[in-house]
Homo-oligomer: A and B are copies of this chain.
Amino acid sequence: MKTTKREALAWARMLSLAVALSVLLTCCAAQTLDVDGDKIVEVLTRLANFSDHENPAVTRILFTPNDMLARKFVKDLMREANLVIREDPMGNIFGRWEGSDPTAPVVLTGSHTDAIPQAGMYDGTVGVIGAIEAVAALQRAGFRPARPLEVLMFSSEEPTRFGLSCSGSRALAGALREEELEGRRDAEGRHYLQVANEVGYGAASTSQLLATSRLPPGAVAHFVELHIEQGPLLEREGVSIGVVTAIAAPSALEVVFAGEGGHAGGQLMPDRNDAGLAGAELALAVEAAVLATGAADTVGTTGTFEVAPGAVNSVPREARLGIDIRDIDGPRRDGVVAAVLAAAQEIAEKRKVRLSSRVLNQDPPATCHPDIVEAVAGAAQQLGLASRRLVSRAYHDALFMARVAPTGMIFIPCRNGWSHRPDEFASPADIANGVRVLALTLARLAGGEWAKSEL
């Protein structure tokens, strides 16, 4: 027993020494971590030029010419950072920095560069360009990772083209079914595989596309994503770094009302079953159902509202609504979804319109891994940056990566909490802080050595 105790003590001493040395080394490295926020913003500005709308509005839809140009831009940056590029059939792009143990599971970081119509230049992009810059800063600081480090640009985080968020990360996580991906069509009636094949990704079949994109079990040691908050908390409280503890449970519905339509002059009011008015009532019912929970964390949005035929002198024959409902509490979110579907049914009966509705997705919330939460919080502390723990109400690829690897997220403040709009903004200083925290977090998660010169 004594011997064992002595041995244990010796081990404990050695371990403390090792940890102290590691913290010391990292501290020194952190002080010299050279990250230039203005330079990153300059790169983000160049990336923003690949847009279907004139800047400051950014529109970059999956596999369109501007998306392909943005992909080339990202790959060029990866090459400049000496990363080895690999792309999967879904269009996910990986840039690998080999570790001293090439067989170890990788530490992965990344985000997306696609953008919904008329969005801004920071959502997603900060986590891709920032990750490349974090790796470059680690290289400049003489760090050599033990585990391999990979920067990842996810394909199709935004649902614009196929109505499905996070297609790339769902596929990586094995959380995407063949029927699901083939059932989603773009405005031209084509599905993911067809469009992917046209631009040089893709496979012989959707089944093969998914099978070859899926990450092998245990391949990823950790996943961490840097992102703008898309909420007002950090800015409001003057805090530089948000340490994400959970990602809210999102749900998306499509509701279609169909009536007879008719001439806006000729059809008398009692003869109408106006699908547009049914849609208007439902949009207001979504708001009411959300407010009825009384919880600040419940949000609901009717983000798309299309009427057909869409002529000023024609009674709407069809209204098609895209509804998004989220909560950090899964069952409470499901309650709102049920209330909205019930309201749609009631409205359809009252207005004598036909109803069809689809739940496009209803994913569970994700919890961030305590190791990564600690690593991010520790990195912020080490850099002398104020941080707070918070919940992500926005959808992220991290939600799906959490199914296959310990996952975490780093948030930085954005102006007024705005995103998905042209005046979305994050300051160069906040971006640089986020990149420094990401770099140190990656170093902590990957393990490795700092160059002697940094001591």
Query: Chain A residues in contact with chain B, CB under 8 A?
Result: 116-119, 123, 158-160, 163, 165, 229-232, 248, 250, 252, 260-271, 274, 276-277, 279-281, 283-284, 287, 290-291, 296, 298-317, 319, 322-324, 326, 360, 392-395, 416-421
Contacts and interface: CB of A to CB of B under 8 A. Distances in A.
Contact of A231 (B267, B309, B360): B267
Contact of A116 (B160, B281, B311): B311
A438 to B, nearest CB: 20
B116 A313 contact: yes
Contacts of A260: 416, 418, 421
Contact of A312 (B123, B163, B274): B163
Contact of A283 (B266, B267, B280, B393): B280
B311 A160 contact: yes
Contact of A315 (B303, B360, B394): B303
A96 to B, nearest CB: 31
Contacts of A261: 418, 420-421
Given A277-B287, A280-B283, A313 B301 contact: yes
A312 B307 contact: no
Given A307-B304, A311-B420, A314-B420, A268 B296 contact: yes
How many copies of the polypeptide does the oligomer hold?
2
B287 A284 contact: no
Interface hub of A274, A299, A316 (most chain B Cβ within 10 A): A299
**Shortest 7 CB-CB contacts between residues of A and residues of B:** A230-B266, A312-B322, A280-B280, A265-B394, A264-B301, A116-B311, A231-B266
Contact of A284 (B248, B263, B280): B280
B262 A248 contact: no
Contacts of A395: 265, 313
Contacts of A291: 269
A199 to B, nearest CB: 22
Given A280-B284, A303-B315, A316-B305, A250 B266 contact: no
A417 B281 contact: no
Contacts of A419: 262-263, 266
10 contacts: A262-B418, A265-B392, A274-B287, A274-B301, A301-B315, A303-B310, A303-B312, A303-B314, A305-B310, A312-B322
A237 to B, nearest CB: 15
Given A232-B271, A277-B287, A307-B305, A312 B159 contact: yes
Interface hub of A265, A302, A420 (most chain B Cβ within 10 A): A265
Given A302-B276, A314-B301, A421-B260, A117 B267 contact: no
